[in-house]
């Protein structure tokens, strides 16, 4: 592995010896991968598959999310992707691309008896709320961990099959659903193995929160079965090191992120995920996407040329949707001059509605939205237009470009790519990003206009102030923030991983 320190220092504060000429395009990263892996492919492993197979061999790509960031990378590099099946079609299919060679998608069939305890149960009933600090939402059933671990073992066997056939030079496994995959690969697979990397897209909990689940040792052993472990921010990086030091005293934990455990070295790094800004900018400029956006706004009750602030989220309690309503209530209470002058557009797609916690949350949220609109409506104008519809990246891109601002209210978010997508589509525009300080993007996008969803009056004042800023100041800020995104774009993200291989 590279002898360079594993720690990532953002925004030009690199110590001597750390390279700062990070790739900013696909072309620059292709050669680096070629030099490291030769002809061996990259293998990506996720729970969610990056495509939806529909009839007549057609594929549809879900909008947004990390899976689409990885898809944009692998379709141009080529390689192998392993994921749980979530649509029809064959177990193995070639995902074509007009931007590169495409890649082979190997789909894993998870039995229905395992799917619910693995996904709805341990992954999203225990780990998701625990890692996000939502203690009141944590449920725990020891039998669900057993099923979670069995699914991780199934993924490991699929990876081992791929190692035998495709011979990948690097296996990159993603997120909290698959923490134990490397443990099973090492237990069941032959040696030597290619580097096994893991990236945690969500926050890492405090040691005291982590101690709330009895499987802490199995989870830590899973994390330390990887060669490289990546986190979004220095905060999550440090929380993980503190957790290992507190719970595994036999492990040697160095401040630079090198952990020695069981006669192996594990490198922990900070590598914030990014987008391809140029791709989103191009999408926002296409006339057909602008036509759709104008039609969508009209159908949503926002007339032409009416200023609006956009939010795009899954209907999840970590996205601060109730907090957002409190902010809007404070906004119109303290600044009533905006009533009827600006609209808030919320694209909030229901998620995990099969879980009682989420179903109840979403039902309460709809009631609260109605109460807000009833309180502040004025003739045909209502403050918050909440649309429960999934929109494609091209259609969202034009809405981002046309928006007066974007409001991100997450209460604890590993990154939040909506903030970056909005800025990329704005480019040199004067739309204002109102960004929750509890997101990884607040760390990457230093100089953003920050809000705190837990303090609605302060957040409302920030929105009021931001809207009244001089146009020149808004544009200057957006240009600076777009420049900062370049250092942690999609290509810089994977480069930080490859520097450790």
Question: Taking Cα atoms as reference points, which of 155, 235, 248, 154 lies closest to residue 202?
Answer: 235
Query: Two tokens at 413?
Result: 């978010």
- Cis peptide before 148, with omega less than 30 degrees from 0? no
CA distance 52 to 61: 6
Going from the N-terminus, what domains does the chain have, and what CATH number goes with each? 26-271+489-498 (3.40.50.2000), 277-469 (3.40.50.2000)
> Quick count: other Cβ atoms within 10 Å of Cβ 319?
25
Distances (CA, A) of 392 to 61, 151, 293, 395, 427: 8, 30, 11, 5, 20
H or E stretch covering 74:
helix 66-77
Provide the pLDDT for residue 64: 58
Provide the pLDDT for residue 235: 97
End-to-end CA distance of the chain: 5
Largest Cα separation within the chain, whole Å, is 71
Provide the pLDDT for residue 18: 35
Say what percent of the chain tops pLDDT 70.
93
Give me the sheet containing 308-314, strands edge to edge: 384-387, 343-349, 308-314, 405-408, 432-436, 449-451
CA distance 489 to 23: 9
> Quick count: other Cβ atoms within 10 Å of Cβ 42?
23
**Torsion angle of the four alpha carbons 118, 124, 126, 132, in this order, in degrees rounded to the nearest 10:** 150
Question: What does the chain come to in residues?
Answer: 501
Strand partners, 496: none
CA distance 232 to 156: 24
Provide the pLDDT for residue 103: 94
Q: What is the pLDDT of residues 406-430, one digit of tens each?
A: 999 999 999 999 999 999 999 999 9
Distances (CA, A) of 468 to 270, 274, 448: 36, 30, 16
What phi, psi does 212 have (nearest 5°)? Answer: -75, -15
**Residue 49 contacts residue 84 (beta carbons within 8 Å):** yes
Write the Ramachandran bin of 447: left for phi over 0, alpha for psi from -120 to 50, otherwise beta.
left
Please give the average pLDDT of every successive group of 10 residues along the chain, which has 501 residues: 33 35 66 89 94 77 71 88 91 87 94 96 97 95 97 98 96 98 96 96 97 97 98 97 97 97 97 92 96 96 92 96 98 98 96 90 97 96 96 94 98 96 97 98 96 98 98 98 88 89 90
CA distance 361 to 68: 27
Provide the pLDDT for residue 17: 33
CB burial of 228-254 (b: ≥16 within 10 Å; e: otherwise) equals bbbbbbeebbbbbbebbeeebeebebe
Provide the pLDDT for residue 24: 58
């Amino acid at each position: 592995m590279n002898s360079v320190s594993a720690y990532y220092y953002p925004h030009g504060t690199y110590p001597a010896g750390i390279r700062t000429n990070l790739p900013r395009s696909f072309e620059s990263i292709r050669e680096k991968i070629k030099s490291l892996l030769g002809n061996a492919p990259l293998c990506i492993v996720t729970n969610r598959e990056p495509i939806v197979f529909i009839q007549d061999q057609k594929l549809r790509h879900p909008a947004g999310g990390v899976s689409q960031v990885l898809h944009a990378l692998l379709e141009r590099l080529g390689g192998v992707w392993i994921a749980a099946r979530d649509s029809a079609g064959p177990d193995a299919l070639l995902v074509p691309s007009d931007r590169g060679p495409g890649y082979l998608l190997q789909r894993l069939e998870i039995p229905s008896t395992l799917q619910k305890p693995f996904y709805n149960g341990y992954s999203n009933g225990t780990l998701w709320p625990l890692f996000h600090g939502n203690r009141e939402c944590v449920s725990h059933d020891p039998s669900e961990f057993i099923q979670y671990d069995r699914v991780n073992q199934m993924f490991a066997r699929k990876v081992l099959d791929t190692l035998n056939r495709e011979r990948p030079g690097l296996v990159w496994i993603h997120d909290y659903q698959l923490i134990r995959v490397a443990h099973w690969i090492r237990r069941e697979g032959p040696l030597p193995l290619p580097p096994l990397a893991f990236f945690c897209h969500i926050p890492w909990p405090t040691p005291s929160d982590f101690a709330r689940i009895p499987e802490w040792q199995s989870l830590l052993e899973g994390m330390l079965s990887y060669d490289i472990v990546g986190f979004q921010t220095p905060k999550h990086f440090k929380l993980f090191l503190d957790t290992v030091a507190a719970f595994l005293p036999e492990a040697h934990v160095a401040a630079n992120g090198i952990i020695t455990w069981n006669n192996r070295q594990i490198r922990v790094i900070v590598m914030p995920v990014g987008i391809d800004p140029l791709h989103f900018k191009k999408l926002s400029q296409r006339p057909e996407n602008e036509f759709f956006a104008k039609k969508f706004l009209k159908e949503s009750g926002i007339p032409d040329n009416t200023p609006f602030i956009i939010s795009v989220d899954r209907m999840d309690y970590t996205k601060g949707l109730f907090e957002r309503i409190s902010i809007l209530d404070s906004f119109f209470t303290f600044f009533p001059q905006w009533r009827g002058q600006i609209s808030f557009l919320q694209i909030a797609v229901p998620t995990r509605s099969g879980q009682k916690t989420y179903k109840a949350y979403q039902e309460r949220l709809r009631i609260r939205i109605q109460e807000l609109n009833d309180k502040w409506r004025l003739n045909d104008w209502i403050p918050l237009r909440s649309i429960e519809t999934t929109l494609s990246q091209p259609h969202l891109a034009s809405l981002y470009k046309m928006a007066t601002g974007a409001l991100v209210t997450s209460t604890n978010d590993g990154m939040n790519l909506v903030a970056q997508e909005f800025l990329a589509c704005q480019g040199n525009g004067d739309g204002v990003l109102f960004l929750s300080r509890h997101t990884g993007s607040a760390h990457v996008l230093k100089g953003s206009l920050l809000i705190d969803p837990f303090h609605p009056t302060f957040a409302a004042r920030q929105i009021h102030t931001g809207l009244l800023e001089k146009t020149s100041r808004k544009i200057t800020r957006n240009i600076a923030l777009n420049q900062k995104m370049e250092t942690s774009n999609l290509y810089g993200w994977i480069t930080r991983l490859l520097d450790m291989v």
